[in-house]
Structure 1
Amino acid sequence: MLSVRSIWPGRRAIMDPLIAVVGATGTGKSKLAVDLASRFNGEIINGDAMQMYRGLPIITNQIPPAEQNGIPHHLLSCIDLEAVAWRIGKFKNETLRLIHDIRSRGKLPILVGGTHYYTQAVLFKDQLVGEGPNDEDGFEPTELDSTSDKWPILDAPPEILLQKLREVDPVMAERWHPKDTRKIRRSLEIYLQRGRPASEIYAEQSRLKREAVQNSNGLLRFENTLIFWVHAEKGVLDTRLNTRVDNMIDQGLMSEAQTMSDYIHKKQSQGIQVDHTRGVWVSIGFKELEPYFTALRQADVSQEELEDLRQPCIESIRSATRQYAVSQIKWIRNKLWRALLEANRTDRLFLLDSSDINDWKKCIAEPSEKLVQCLLHNEPLPDPKSLSELARAVLGAREDQGDDQPSKCYTCDVCRKTMAGEAQWKIHLNGHGHKRALKSAAKRAERDAYFQRQSQKA
């Protein structure tokens, strides 16, 4: 086992290595983290919000103790059931403290988890805006209470929200599609919370980013960071996730979910309402089964009726798990990639193909070990696209697209449609539908002109 100190004695404070493992649920992140920690004398920091809750190892997909190989796992199973999930700032500060502590003992910190707005806050330096779980445009809510209680306009119909946003922040109003109510609402909420248009804050953030790059300070918090993206082909992953849900059922998921349901029922009988929209109560596997446990408490529901309800609930867990994986991958493709692009460090993101789980050593273990060796010995890293065909296809596609974040919306008065981003606008203009609409509009204009001339003659 290698020691971080033994590789470059006296240079630890200069190197400050950090390994991060990201990816969708079910791809093998936890196994890779344990493999690397075992090989390079590391300790693991959990970056999954749900896995921080104790007493629910199955429903939160915690790595079993038998598979931890004696490696210390920090921030795993560490908060009580009723606790609110940690806010980004708290997670970041505690993780940075742990990283410093792990390094001080000559060990390698490995951050692993699927709550990617957590891991990204650690990977990149403080900026004016951070990423939040329900906030795609970049601000973490500053209040725990509902902001609509303070600003009732936030509960207004979408058209009213957009009209108000046009008054206070026309730049952001132009950016969002009229049907994208959540983003419109969030932009208006930012203005109400901060007293400044979100567009101004974004502009200031961009300026600070440019200055950081120009001053060679970099945007990565730790220069010697290596990010492993454990990925798998969609069809393979979907099948794997369906099987995993079935295994979780066999291992006791129903029992854990019932414990959660009984806890809520007990609190309600005491006149205490539990917020189902926060904390562990939003974990996949509980909310989908709640209708079943509600029916289970009703004396007039037969066993046959319960079983008819149980199966659709389990299928909902499978579907929600697959959808969650899609959202995790989307985050990496868009937000993490964009942050690395702005930092000029896309060369630090390495995709590992876990599609063939039986070939783990060749596809995952060996290439990841070689990359960490290169990092720790300060040797040149290979082109991330060279690791596999999947890496070449996925990362190559992202490089070709660059930073494709929509900057504004375009409305076609002819077709009465609104497109988000210049790319979609160009596609629309060159589409057959738009061209047919132009011809129809020209014919209507010609017909109207003809009737107008006839009326004037009369």
Structure 2
Amino acid sequence: MEQSKLTTITPTICSTTPPSFRRRKRKIIIILGPTGAGKSRLSIDIATRLLFTNCEIINSDKMQVYKGLDITTNKITLQQQLNIPHHLLGVIDPTKTIFTPSDFRKLASEIISDVKSRRGLPIIVGGSNSLIHSLVTKRYDPKTNFFVESDPNMDPDRDTDPNPLRYDCCFIWVDVCLPVLNQYLSKRVDEMLDSGMFEELGEFFRSGEHKRVKSSGLGQAIGVPEFETYFEKFPGFRRPESDGSDSGEVYSEAVKKIKENTCQLAKKQVSKILRLRDAGWDLKKIDATEAFRAVVTADCGGGRVAEIWEKQVVEPSMKIVMHFLDE
């Protein structure tokens, strides 16, 4: 969701009276959903409204954990973070290692413990469901990266849940009707290109960085493989004109593939979320479709978008969070 179109609504600040979650251990909030669904925006909305505790955000997007390609991987900017601490965002050297779900489980667990030791509230945000699963499930199997079947010899009085979680989790699933989300994702790719994505990728290829990063890591970021052919043939930094030239045709094909692959990624992510729901995770679904429909409607102003987002996404999310924290 476009950040600039969601900042015109004055937020309703929650009570400063701390709920009972301060007496409980290891409560965390997890915001999941397909790429582009507004997860980062919602995490900031929630964090800035919970005045009774310090929220800290842990990134769970497997491309955004790496240093570099900030525009291409659509990292939330420092300005958009609104002074909310962010962890595992642009910190992993993409030339030295591949960041695995097991790595995320270890590092994110340590961060959660640190945040909880300071009586803060961790908010895990990202579209990489494999990372989220690795973090929260108690019997994690890195070989399958999905729920491990329960042990038939397990003491039933000790643990009756076949897929127990390590934390007391509040799962918020930001959902957008795929046809509407696809329209928005196509629009977002164009905006990312206008914001410097092409130039960022040009420097990435010109410097030879694409040869040094791990192909199974940052090298998989959407935009890198799609533009590889273009920058091999046309190493310049200037975006080509749509004039039927060779460079223009290759550029247009690269952009088309980026849009297609982004939409395919969103579809796969939704499929994985449905698997988690079917496996028994209590996912609280928030339908953000109307807010995104407003974004892709040319005659709808930013104020109207922000109003819809506030009413249909932020307010119900806050009710879910407050109920969870007060349990």
1:309 equivalent to 2:247? Answer no
CA RMSD of aligned residues (A): 2.7
Other-structure match for 2:193? 249
Other-structure match for 1:370? 319
| TM-score (normalizing by structure 1) | 0.59
Gaps of 5+ in 1: 132-137, 141-201, 268-272, 379-458
Mapping of 1:113-132 within 5 angstroms?
113-127=126-140, 129-130=141-142
- The Cα shift of 1:2 comes to 7.1
The CA distance in 2 between the partners of 1:375 and 1:354, in whole Å, is 21
Query: Counterpart of 2:324 in structure 1: which amino acid?
Result: L
Label 1:322 to 1:214 Cα distance change in 2 as closer, same or farther (>3 A).
farther
Other-structure match for 1:337? 277
Label 1:18 to 1:56 Cα distance change in 2 as closer, same or farther (>3 A).
same
1:353 equivalent to 2:297? Answer no
User: Contact (CA 8 Å) 1:20, 1:226: kept in 2 or not?
Assistant: yes
- The Cα shift of 1:103 comes to 1.1
User: Contact (CA 8 Å) 2:92, 2:99: kept in 1 or not?
Assistant: no
Label 1:275 to 1:369 Cα distance change in 2 as closer, same or farther (>3 A).
closer
Other-structure match for 1:281? 219
Other-structure match for 2:118? 105
Other-structure match for 2:49? 39
- The Cα shift of 1:259 comes to 2.0
Other-structure match for 1:28? 38
The CA distance in 1 between the partners of 2:188 and 2:178, in whole Å, is 15
The CA distance in 2 between the partners of 1:239 and 1:33, in whole Å, is 23
User: Contact (CA 8 Å) 1:125, 1:221: kept in 2 or not?
Assistant: yes
Label 1:61 to 1:210 Cα distance change in 2 as closer, same or farther (>3 A).
farther
Provide Cα deviations, 1:31-63, integer angstroms capped at 9, x if missing partner.
111111112231100001111122321001101
Q: Which SS does the other structure have where 1:45 is aligned?
A: strand
Query: Counterpart of 1:367 in structure 2: which amino acid?
Result: P
211-220 or 307-316: which moved more? 211-220
The CA distance in 2 between the partners of 1:9 and 1:317, in whole Å, is 43
- The Cα shift of 1:241 comes to 0.2
Label 1:225 to 1:316 Cα distance change in 2 as closer, same or farther (>3 A).
same
Mapping of 1:87-98 within 5 angstroms?
87-98=100-111
Mapping of 1:10-89 within 5 angstroms?
11-13=23-25, 16-40=26-50, 41-89=54-102
The CA distance in 2 between the partners of 1:258 and 1:206, in whole Å, is 47
Provide Cα deviations, 1:208-260, integer angstroms capped at 9, x if missing partner.
27847663364343452110111101111010000000000000111111122
Provide Cα deviations, 1:66-102, integer angstroms capped at 9, x if missing partner.
2111100000011234133312211101101111111
The CA distance in 2 between the partners of 1:275 and 1:80, in whole Å, is 8
The CA distance in 2 between the partners of 1:252 and 1:308, in whole Å, is 20
Query: Counterpart of 1:283 in structure 2: which amino acid?
Result: A
The CA distance in 2 between the partners of 1:12 and 1:257, in whole Å, is 46
Q: How many aligned positions are there?
A: 290
Query: Counterpart of 2:47 in structure 1: which amino acid?
Result: A
Gaps of 5+ in 2: 1-12, 292-304
Other-structure match for 1:259? 203
The CA distance in 1 between the partners of 2:201 and 2:95, in whole Å, is 14
Higher relative contact order (CA 8 A, sep 6+): 2
Provide Cα deviations, 1:85-131, integer angstroms capped at 9, x if missing partner.
3122111011011111111111110001111100111121124x236
Q: Which SS does the other structure have where 1:66 is aligned?
A: coil
The CA distance in 2 between the partners of 1:234 and 1:314, in whole Å, is 20
- The Cα shift of 1:5 comes to 9.7
1:225 pairs with one of 158, 169, 194: 169
Query: Counterpart of 1:354 in structure 2: which amino acid?
Result: A
Other-structure match for 1:236? 180
1:290 equivalent to 2:223? Answer no
- The Cα shift of 1:308 comes to 1.7
The CA distance in 2 between the partners of 1:278 and 1:65, in whole Å, is 27
The CA distance in 2 between the partners of 1:290 and 1:284, in whole Å, is 11
User: Contact (CA 8 Å) 1:99, 1:109: kept in 2 or not?
Assistant: yes
The CA distance in 1 between the partners of 2:176 and 2:217, in whole Å, is 28
Label 1:277 to 1:75 Cα distance change in 2 as closer, same or farther (>3 A).
same
1:320 equivalent to 2:283? Answer no
Q: Which SS does the other structure have where 2:224 is aligned?
A: coil
Q: Which has the larger radius of gyration?
A: 1
User: Contact (CA 8 Å) 1:46, 1:76: kept in 2 or not?
Assistant: yes
Q: Which SS does the other structure have where 2:207 is aligned?
A: helix
Label 1:61 to 1:90 Cα distance change in 2 as closer, same or farther (>3 A).
same
- The Cα shift of 1:274 comes to 4.5
Between Structure 1 and Structure 2, which shows a larger proportion of helix residues?
Answer: 1
The CA distance in 2 between the partners of 1:9 and 1:276, in whole Å, is 41
User: Contact (CA 8 Å) 2:97, 2:214: kept in 1 or not?
Assistant: no
Label 1:2 to 1:83 Cα distance change in 2 as closer, same or farther (>3 A).
farther
